[in-house]
Chains A and B, each alone.
With several copies, the nearest count.
Chain A
């Protein structure tokens, strides 16, 4: 094991896969010498050269769309969209092309493409550079959605995403990039579709992912002092979703809180609540609760932005309200 930040772990995951498979390449805006807007691809150009680490014009539709064609023709592109907020410029390429090609062609094509993109608020970047919109991607049959919450998962899920034969949305959180942690060296794969119990507990289950996982871990510490034992289930991948792990935990605790940074309305928390409400109805001794961002765009002023983001305090309050 080695200490790495989340950003270094993503990079290490890409590097190992690029060493392993010459068909893996990187394309995106400023990903080459510049190393990407957040430095995540720094050094890869020097290591792999201009053939495998390519800058693109500001052309999101062509970035994702070319990836679809390259993948269908046998390569394994990792394309970067600089902010997930820009996916609106290339949704057709993702949801009508990449996602459906295999099905429409009767199983005779595959599109092993990873779309890497950062999400999330917390840096005063305002309404068009701070969003979380993962539930959109989970609504697209044919696409897998990955949201690592720790450095180790970031590396292991990157490997799994690159090796997967389907289009994968790999969504990293800006606020996590600098977070350090223990990361296995060399080849390391975390399978898609397997949740991870990030903390064991007995009184309540919290399902959360990405940055909110870190906030929830901190909140759980506080709650432990108050005598509430929290179990934290991190699905890590939203599609495929490890339903069984969630149901198993709820069957033990009898309570479920879902915490996410997406705005609440039609966020992925609704899907989880609906599944557990139907399949885990008898386990529940309290209503399932969702704690999420309010249904507003993301404001610029720090005081407003922090009111927007679900906080440790709000998580604690939400949990206490369920006892």
Chain B
């Protein structure tokens, strides 16, 4: 493992931040403070954190409807994220996007997306731009197991392959597409096998092991930066919550749910850190406490922020 203490602790902080952010989102949604749809990333923290640890600000990502974790892992500002969930003018999108459309183009975050699979062609195009401009930047498309059945998966992977683009396709296989378990929506076990249809490598990793995610992504990113083209990385994980807040997820087998809860990626990394003597439990608890405080501040910021001026309805339809 080529990860040093600092890197591992940074991933840990990212995972803890996502966990705390999403846990608060559960409460805030239940309390009616967040309008619209909210799809949470609880249980999947290791994927975004492991992947984004391989990236810098000049690299691009496209996210999904379940995007909070990607945003945080890529360095998104938590206050502006929370304010956006609240629909406030201080939010990332000035309140015009909401949970499903948070973006930070300066950080290379080309947006969460309400259309399943829509991020893959966009990431392919961003990867095209990285190559066209002769940079060594790469582009990452996050998408789910359900999205791997969509049109855009096929067309994007094929195009990225023949153009040898620096794109890494990260499939977050969390076992579910709303109420459909993976085996009901596709007849394969490893989505990474689909890479063979496009003539580039595919690999499957334990998505609850942040180190495994990091290593697989690191290899794929290195390949991309060298000009060797795309890779498909499948991260097997589990969606802890219902599809969106409000869905109890009654279709899940309680036993599966219980099993997966025991695979929580955060304690798993904690054990690892302590074993490696990179941190004591007390230090880790301190990190978590710090994160909780940040989230609390973000919520306060959001609550105290003004709602948009109704005139904003008409702005930014077109660039001039």
- Please tell me if the beta carbons of A57 and B149 are within 8 angstroms of each other in the complex: yes
> Which single member of B93, B124, B128, B155 contacts A300 (CB below 8 Å)?
B93
The verdict on B180 contacting chain A, using a C-beta distance below 8 Å, is: yes
Within 8 A of B (CB), among A297-313: 297, 299-304, 307-308
The verdict on B259 contacting chain A, using a C-beta distance below 8 Å, is: no
Q: A97 — which chain B residues lie within 8 A by C-beta?
A: 113, 115, 118, 122
The verdict on A202 contacting chain B, using a C-beta distance below 8 Å, is: no
Contact digits for B83-99, partner A, Cβ 8 Å, 1 yes 0 no: 01001100111111110
> Which single member of A34, A62, A67, A297 contacts B155 (CB below 8 Å)?
A62
The verdict on B147 contacting chain A, using a C-beta distance below 8 Å, is: yes
> Which single member of B87, B88, B158, B315 contacts A59 (CB below 8 Å)?
B158
> Which single member of B35, B150, B154 contacts A124 (CB below 8 Å)?
B35
Categorize the interface residue count of chain B.
Answer: 35 or more
What is the CA–CA distance of A316 and B147 in the complex, to the nearest angstrom? 45
What is the CA–CA distance of A106 and B80 in the complex, to the nearest angstrom? 12
The verdict on B229 contacting chain A, using a C-beta distance below 8 Å, is: no
> Which single member of B97, B110, B158 contacts A69 (CB below 8 Å)?
B110
New contact pairs (19) apart from A57-B155, A65-B125, A102-B316, CB-CB < 8 Å: A29-B180, A30-B178, A57-B177, A57-B180, A62-B121, A62-B158, A65-B156, A66-B156, A69-B123, A70-B125, A70-B129, A70-B132, A73-B126, A97-B122, A107-B316, A128-B113, A300-B35, A301-B35, A301-B308
Contact digits for B160-199, partner A, Cβ 8 Å, 1 yes 0 no: 0011000000000000011110001110000000000000
The verdict on A58 contacting chain B, using a C-beta distance below 8 Å, is: yes
Interface-forming stretch among A86-94, A178-186, A205-213, A254-262?
A86-94
What is the CA–CA distance of A171 and B193 in the complex, to the nearest angstrom? 38
- Please tell me if the beta carbons of B117 and A58 are within 8 angstroms of each other in the complex: yes
The verdict on B75 contacting chain A, using a C-beta distance below 8 Å, is: no
Within 8 A of A (CB), among B92-113: 92-98, 100-101, 103-106, 110-111, 113
The verdict on A74 contacting chain B, using a C-beta distance below 8 Å, is: yes
- Please tell me if the beta carbons of A72 and B126 are within 8 angstroms of each other in the complex: yes
Smallest CB gap from A71: residue in B: B125
Number of interface residues of A (CB under 8 A): 71
Question: Smallest distance from the beta carbon of B112 to chain A beta carbons, Å?
Answer: 9
Q: B218 — which chain A residues lie within 8 A by C-beta?
A: none
Q: How many A-B residue pairs have CB under 8 A?
A: 267
The verdict on A55 contacting chain B, using a C-beta distance below 8 Å, is: yes
The verdict on B320 contacting chain A, using a C-beta distance below 8 Å, is: yes
The verdict on B46 contacting chain A, using a C-beta distance below 8 Å, is: no
- Please tell me if the beta carbons of A297 and B115 are within 8 angstroms of each other in the complex: no
Q: A294 — which chain B residues lie within 8 A by C-beta?
A: 313-314
Q: B97 — which chain A residues lie within 8 A by C-beta?
A: 104-106, 126-127, 300
What is the CA–CA distance of A77 and B126 in the complex, to the nearest angstrom? 12
What is the CA–CA distance of A294 and B315 in the complex, to the nearest angstrom? 12
- Please tell me if the beta carbons of A58 and B177 are within 8 angstroms of each other in the complex: yes
> Which single member of A33, A109, A166 contacts B318 (CB below 8 Å)?
A166
10 closest cross-chain pairs (CB), A and B = A65-B121, A69-B125, A124-B35, A300-B98, A124-B36, A301-B87, A107-B316, A128-B114, A73-B129, A66-B125
